[in-house]
């Protein structure tokens, strides 16, 4: 295999369960993605973003072609970021961005999470947007 890729999720994927996801349909999809990746010389791992530490994934689910196995201390070359962008996750996203190649750009995610920035970058695709301004209330 040429590359090891981690898909990092929010609570959709949990390393403490019996399977990667609580929803049966999602496990079926994750298995299919892993098989497609394998056909293209890629090892695919699924984990919560909280499992990322020091450039490795502490615990991640991997479909071995027969069953789900929980791999430990997986060093990946690429990350596909599927977890939310907010105050809680901002720092870990920035850390991952400095340590690994991210398939979906953090820079673009920052733009898309800000409607005003999105409008400025793609004015023909996003309705006109203005920054909110705080006005003093009128006196009664």
What domains, with CATH codes, occur in the chain?
3-104 (3.40.50)
Alpha-carbon distance of 76 to 60, in angstroms, equals 11
**Residue-level pLDDT at 131:** 67
Ranking 7-16, 74-83, 128-137 by mean pLDDT, the lowest is 128-137
pLDDT, greater one: 31 or 129: 31
- Which range in 44-53, 118-127, 128-137 is most confidently predicted, on average pLDDT? 44-53
Strand partners, 48: 9
Q: What pTM value is reported for the model?
A: 0.75
Whether residue 38 contacts residue 76, with contact meaning beta carbons closer than 8 Å, is answered with no
pLDDT surpassing 90 at residue 67: yes
pLDDT, greater one: 81 or 35: 35
């Amino acid at each position: 295999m040429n590359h090891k890729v981690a898909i990092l999720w929010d609570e959709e994927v949990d390393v403490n369960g019996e399977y990667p996801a609580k929803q049966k349909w999602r496990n079926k999809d994750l298995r299919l993605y892993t098989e497609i990746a394998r056909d293209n010389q890629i090892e695919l791992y699924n984990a919560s973003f909280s499992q990322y530490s020091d450039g490795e994934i502490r615990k991640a689910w991997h479909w071995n072609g027969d069953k789900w196995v929980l791999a430990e201390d997986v060093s990946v070359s690429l990350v596909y970021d599927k977890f939310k962008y907010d105050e809680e996750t901002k720092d870990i996203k920035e850390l991952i961005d400095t340590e690994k190649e991210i398939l979906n750009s953090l820079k673009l995610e920052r733009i898309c999470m800000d409607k005003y920035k999105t409008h400025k970058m793609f004015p023909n695709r996003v309705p006109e947007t203005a920054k909110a301004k705080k006005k003093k209330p009128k006196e009664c």
